[in-house]
Structure 1
Amino acid sequence: MMKIRRIFHKWMMQEDLNFLLTNRIPRITLTRFMGWWSQIRHPWVVKSSMAVWRLFSDLDLSEAKHTQFDSLHACFTRELKPGARVVNPDPALMTSPCDAIVGACGTITQGQVFQAKGFPYQLHTLLGTSERCQHWPAALEGGTYVTLRLTSSMYHRFHAPHDVQLQHVTYISGDTWNVNPVALARVQELFCKNERAVLHMQTQEGLPFLIVPVAAVLVASMRFHAVDVLLNLRYKGPNEMPCDAAYIKGQEMGWFEHGSTILVFVPQGFALADGIASGVRIQMGQALLERLG
């Protein structure tokens, strides 16, 4: 199995082929199919699907609360054993909301950030035309952004990075481009094209910031505990969802199905925590951003 996996990974490292197989496909149709397939509760379907998944990924269930699942969806959205993640309690730190590989990160300059080197996008394009989002580019100017990419085999639940209040959710329907590095280096403004949700957040001290989960091919399904609907390609609205949900640092806020990306945007007064740089693997609860002063 390891030999087959190595051959597959070497094959998929060919960028043209990787991009072709993960993007030049009927993305939305396959994503809807995957949503249906993952919900099938049949042992043969689950076992065969997980066998294929293990063959082509580094799926590790040693930290999972349960290792037997009645559907592929249950494995995608699995919980971890108690104590599997330690949340840094330092109030000066914002912790990572998820397990991830750090992507592009840096300073928000003139409303511009990067999805990959040489591939910028504008915050106002990402956040859409909602009146609720119009003030954010100015409020975040000079602040810091971090891109967190979740692979298919990772833990898919996301958590509060601080003691926070979720005040509003803006849902933006869109495409389902792959969000891997190959696609990010080829598709202009990719995050601005894909389905996403803007989480309007505020710390207990009143500091506003944003978390933006972005869906991707075979994913396009997000669940937030504060919103009583499943956000996916079949969701028709409303797009603006007021809410008033308080979370303590590390408390679960929701999950992706399969894997995708979370974008974090904070205003001036923060810097990347020690060791945070593009390509670094990070776990939920580890230091992500540090308050200055």
Structure 2
Amino acid sequence: MNMTISVRKMLQQEDLNFLLTNRIPRIALTRLMGKFSQIRSPLLAKMSIAVWRLFTDLDLSDAKKQRFDSLHDCFTRELVPGARQVDMREEVLSSPCDAIVGACGRVEGRQVFQAKGFPYSMQDLFGPSQDTSAFQDGMFITLRLTSAMYHRFHAPQDCTVEHVTHIAGDTWNVNPIALKRVERLFCRNERAVLRTRLKSGEPIAIVPVAAILVASLRLHFLDLLLHVDYQGANELPCQASFNKGEEMGWFQHGSTIIVFVPKGFELCPGVSTGTQIRMGQALLKHQSPQA
């Protein structure tokens, strides 16, 4: 009974959240939040975090530092050593981030679902410059980071990032209510496509998608901050190698990462829509003969 009331309350909050964020200038508010979060004032940060905790289940017990110079400092916090355990099995792709699993499963040809009855094409998501054929009939998994979660993301396996495509866009809310109401939402928002190759040779794609209040993505390997006012090159060739679990970058607040893999993978046991997962946990399992 208590669980039913809790779920109903959460859905009501997300419904109200969608209505509010659908009626405001999203990009302008995102810019404003970005500037506010950068204000260096420990007192202001402390007060803001106290207000933040009224609306979320923010848990800073595993944060490397407990006093923050700004909200941005809290959003992009590091964790104490050992706070996350990475599944090091060679056949497993670990979760790149803390998240709630959204839509996931097989790619139907080159079509993906953001929610039941709301399909979008990989080409629309990746942009016109990208070839999506490697992921046809493969697997995808949507990972939603809430505002209270750890916001850094990590390599799911030993891999090399070979190309980044930045695609400008809106900053729609990406909560479940919005995903059920706004068609092709992920294809509308600011995003980046990280074309990556595993050490074993298979391609994967990691697609961070921005949302309201969080159109900022730091990619350490390019020493670059992608955001709504970014004016640089949109096609960014690179050759950045990572070990499994190594940090790749961070979001400023919370958002979504969509992972695409070719045929030959399956979801790991226990991973399904609604599952809460932590960075480093088993996400996808490789079923090639050598595995």
Q: TM-score, normalised by structure 1?
A: 0.94
Shift of 1:281: 0.4
The residue type paired with residue 174 of structure 1 is: G
CA contact (8 A) 1:12 1:18 kept: no
**Distance of 1:12 and 1:97 partners within structure 2:** 26
Shift of 1:44: 3.0
CA contact (8 A) 1:28 1:217 kept: yes
1:242-279 per-residue CA deviation (whole Å, 9 max, x = no partner) reads 11111000000000000000000000000001111000
The answer to whether residue 179 in structure 2 is matched with residue 174 in structure 1 is no
Partner SS for 1:13: helix
1:28-76 per-residue CA deviation (whole Å, 9 max, x = no partner) reads 0000000000000113321221111011110000011111000100000
Partner SS for 1:65: coil
After superposition, the Cα gap between the structure-2 partners of 1:284 and 1:270, relative to the gap in structure 1 and judged at 3 Å, is same
Report the count of equivalent residues: 283
The answer to whether residue 151 in structure 2 is matched with residue 156 in structure 1 is yes
CA contact (8 A) 2:98 2:278 kept: yes
Partner SS for 1:45: helix
The answer to whether residue 140 in structure 2 is matched with residue 141 in structure 1 is no
**Distance of 2:61 and 2:14 partners within structure 1:** 32
The answer to whether residue 217 in structure 2 is matched with residue 222 in structure 1 is yes
The answer to whether residue 245 in structure 2 is matched with residue 250 in structure 1 is yes
Aligned with residue 185 of structure 1, among 180, 185, 200: 180
The answer to whether residue 19 in structure 2 is matched with residue 24 in structure 1 is no
Shift of 1:15: 5.8
Aligned-residue CA RMSD in angstroms? 1.5
Aligned to 1:197: 192
Runs of 4+ in 1 over 4 A off after TM superposition: none
Aligned to 1:87: 86
Aligned to 1:231: 226
**Distance of 2:278 and 2:11 partners within structure 1:** 25
Structure 1: gaps of 5 or more residues: 1-5
1:114-146 per-residue CA deviation (whole Å, 9 max, x = no partner) reads 10111110000011122xx1x22x211111000
Aligned to 1:60: 59
Identity fraction in percent:
62
Shift of 1:16: 4.8
Structure 2: gaps of 5 or more residues: none
